[in-house]
Amino acid sequence: MPYGEKTKEELLEYADQIFDFFIKKGAKAVVIACNTMSSVVYDIIRDKYDIKIYPIIQSVAGVIAQLPVKKIGVFATPATISSNAYKKEIEKYNQKIEVFQIACPEWVRIVEENKLNQPQSIVQVKEKLDEMFQFNPDKIILGCTHYPYLLDILQKFAPANMFIDPSIYFAEFIKDDLIKNDLTAVSCGSEEIYVSANPESFKQSAKMFYKLQKTPDLIVFD
């Protein structure tokens, strides 16, 4: 990590390894929660695997496009911005909405390294927000899974309801679609968590969003 600064070729290699792993595990559906992966690799791999795939950007764009707004800003990683994914997907549903995008590569590290309260972090976030305000957006999409953790900083300079956390729409979309396609579980399941590096570090970082019962298992791809 961060994925947002990887090349398209690197991301495709990661995706193939991860999907092959999930298929061996018998997965019936895979959620691409990462905006970068959703924007760069989904269109390439979507027909490659015979399982249900949920990409975050493509899944929520239709809902966002129906919001009563004229201008939407997007904060995302360099890879997501370069792909133009949010703009293209939103315009499929509503060509009247203007979309303005800004890459924020340093924001992932602020969250990962738990520097949320450091003065320099606040300055870096405000600089990007000031740049976005030149566009005068009605709403701003936090187009990376890390960015909603910066809301405490962002709310110092703008109303909380200005920001869109796409994961909220995404979770509802997945739930509704699983029910529609009769893919919901009939009983409570279990969870297995794997990481490709630094299990202990991941367990510590994960505390901000989920209490892991045990240290994740390390998986090494060939």
Which of 144, 153, 164, 174 is the catalytic position? Answer: 144
* Number of other CB atoms surrounding residue 139 within 10 Å: 18
Tokens 């990007």 belong to residue: 128
- Which DSSP state fits 48? T
Residues 6+ apart with CB under 8 A from 40: 8, 11, 12, 79, 80, 83, 85
Is 104 a catalytic site residue?
no
Which of 11, 34, 64, 111 is the catalytic position? Answer: 34
CA distance 82 to 131: 18
Long-range contacts, stretch 105-110, CB < 8 angstroms, 24+ apart: 105/2, 105/4, 105/5, 105/77, 105/78, 107/75, 107/144, 107/146, 107/147, 107/150, 108/1, 108/2, 108/4, 108/77, 108/144, 108/146, 109/2, 110/150
CA distance 80 to 206: 23
Is 188 a catalytic site residue?
no
173 alpha-carbon distance from chain centroid: 14
- N-to-C CA span, the chain: 18
Q: For the chain, how many helices (H) and strands (E)?
A: 11, 8
Q: Catalytic positions, please?
A: 34, 144
